[in-house]
Each structure stands twice: as C-alpha cells, then as structure tokens.
Amino acid sequence: MLKVLLVDDEPFILQGLSALINWENEGYEIVYTCSNGKEALDYLIGNKVDLIIADIKMPVMSGIELLKNIREKNITDAFFVFLSGYGDFVYTKEAIQQNATDYILKPVQKEQLIELLGRVSGFACTARQEKKKRIVPSIMYYSEGEESLPVSIITKATMDMLLEAVVENDKEKMQSAVAEVYKQIKEEDMDAEFVRMNMNYMLLRLVHLAMEQDPDVNQNEIIQMIRENAFDEETDNGNRGHFEKLIHDFADYLCQLRSNVSRSVLSDIENYVKEHYSQNISLKELSQKFFINSAYLGQIFKKQYGVSFREYLNKFRIEKAAEMLLKTDDKIYAIAEQVGYHDPDYFINKFIAVKGCTPTSYRRNTRK
C-alpha cells in the first residue's frame, strides 16, 4: 500500500479528494492531510510517504516552495503531483524547474485521479524492479537548456517548433513538427507512461496558448474539447492520427480566437434549436454544421446566454414540455418523447430541476 500525503489550504478540497475514490482499491492509503506546505514539510521530516499531492498555490508555504525545500534538502524521494487551477500557468515554469512528477487539474475528476494513481503505481513498480535510486519520472523537463536528459521526453526545441506551427496555423510546419515528435518517440523507445506524460505537458502548453490570446477564455471548455475530440487514450498511447487531429483542431481554434468570429452564428443556432430541439443535438454537431470550432462555440455561447449549450437545450425542452402539459392531455412519457427525452425518469428529474415540481403536479396546479 503506497502512502499518500494531501496538501491543500481548502478543507473541502481535502475532504473531496479523500472521498472521491476508494484509495485502498487503487493500492493507496491517505496517511495525513495538511493545509499548507510548512505543515507538510514538518510532517515529512519525521514520516515517510510515497506520494505527495499538493496545491500549487497556498498561504504560508506554496506547493512550489514545498517541492523546492524537498529537493534542496533531500527530505524525501516521494513522487510529487501538483493540484493546478486553470489560472495557475504563471507558476508552471518554476514547477518545471523543480521536477514535479505530474499535475492534475481542478476540479479533480474521478477518472483522472484513478489514471494518475495508476501512472504513479507504474513508476513505483519500475523503481522497485530496477532496485536502484530512482530518477523521479516527470512531465516537467522542458526548461531552457535541458536538452540532454536522463528520462525520455520530447526536446524543448521540438516542442517549441510544434507550438509555433500551431500559433501560425501553418499546416506544413505542423506536419513536420508532428513527424519530429514521433521520430523522437521512436528513437527514445518511449513506453506508454512517458508518451502520456509528454502529451499531458502538451495539453498544458496548448491551454496556455489560448490564454495568451484571450485571458477570458473558458479553459475548462478548451480542455474538454481537446479530450473529447483528440486527446484521448489513443493519443496518450501515441496514436499519430489522433495527435495530428488535436494539433490541427487547436490551430483552427486559435485562429478563431484571434479573428473573433461573428456571434451572429448564435442566432442561427437559436433558430436551429427551435426547429430540432427534439433531436439529439450536440455542440460538436452544431460546430460542424455552422463551421465553427466546438470549444470556441461553447465559449461564446456561454458568454451570451450565461449557461452551457446543454443547459440551454434542456431548459428549452422543458419549457416546450410545460406548454404541452397545459395544452394537451398527452401522457407524461409521450410528452417526454416529443421534446427529446427517451427516458421518462430522466425527463421528470430535469423537469423538477427547472420547474421545481413534477410534470403531473405542474399540470394539475397550473390548470386550476
């Protein structure tokens, strides 16, 4: 059982992480929690742990300062993972220099945490098998001048070339850069874990690029778009086709951020929803139909209406259902079908969330 130390200044984060998964099932045990880096440092001096998960920003002593102290004083060789908010990219360079093992974005998702723990378990297993002092595996070796390194990474020069091609939306340069990435993956004979870490680092850099274009971008939607469209298990494991799709999609997205695509497309989408609300409409489908990047569409949609497209569609469907409840005597399940819900129980739950009562109660009380 690997021992875990959790460090965060927000108690609900500590409680949430502790309850998010069954740690024992993953081979871990949370042995202690702290509210800042100083408390963690004091604990580590007298206690051994295998994994430290710490917020990158905390009062008294930040996660960065904690890791720096650990490295300088050689307090522990535990794996170190940063909890990173979407606005924490200003701290990334320092995290890189301190050689963190990995990072995980807030709000932490159950699947992502389990994947992370699986990777760390793999590192720990490899270290035990080698029976020698481990070099802590890291996504972080991309600081200036770090071109000859003890772990398998994509070099900084190649990473910069790829990112430059994305910014310029230069298809030929992107193709060359992707070819160089996969050449290095092959030459270094990278295993799945190191490919995954390199891809995770790329994700961080891509989101940072979008923030440089527009500080108000919704980073959560960007990351969701990347993960849904290309940044999936196949990409993590080195699927070149998926990786190229990710790069091209993101280059288009950045172009749209710079050009500020006309929001008139939203009125077209409104009309489309009015005519097709009973169908299975998704943001991805709309982005293809109206020739606009899905992440950018999600961003301008939320800015305009204050809710996500999914929430907007649900509310529109429920309002249509409410009209039908008052104007017809159709059964509840029939109305649910007519507005796009094939599961009556799901429809009822959504109706209650919007109207505060069941469809039956709404019909009975409103008709009086």
Task: Write out pLDDT tens, residues 198-216.
Answer: 676 677 677 767 766 665 6
> Is 136 within 8 Å of 52 (Cβ atoms)?
no
Contact 55, 8 (CB under 8 A): yes
Kindly state the percentage of the chain with pLDDT values over 70. Answer: 74
Cα separation, 282 vs 314, whole angstroms = 12
Q: How far is it between the farthest Cα atoms of the chain?
A: 79
Please name the amino acid found at residue 134: R
What was the pLDDT predicted at 31?
96
- Output 293 or 111, whichever has higher pLDDT: 111
Q: What's the pLDDT score for residue 321?
A: 95
28 vs 25: CA distance, rounded Å: 7
pLDDT in tens, 229-274: 544 444 444 467 777 887 888 888 777 766 655 556 888 889 999 9
The model carries a pTM of 0.44
Q: What is the pLDDT of residue 330?
A: 93
- The pLDDT score that the predictor gives to residue 212 is 64
- Contact present, 273 and 310 (Cβ < 8 Å): no
pLDDT tens profile 21-59: 999 988 999 999 999 999 999 999 999 999 999 998 899
**pLDDT, tens only, 289-308:** 887 767 778 877 887 888 88
Is residue 64 within 8 Å of residue 92, measured between CB atoms? no
Q: What is the pLDDT of residue 29?
A: 94
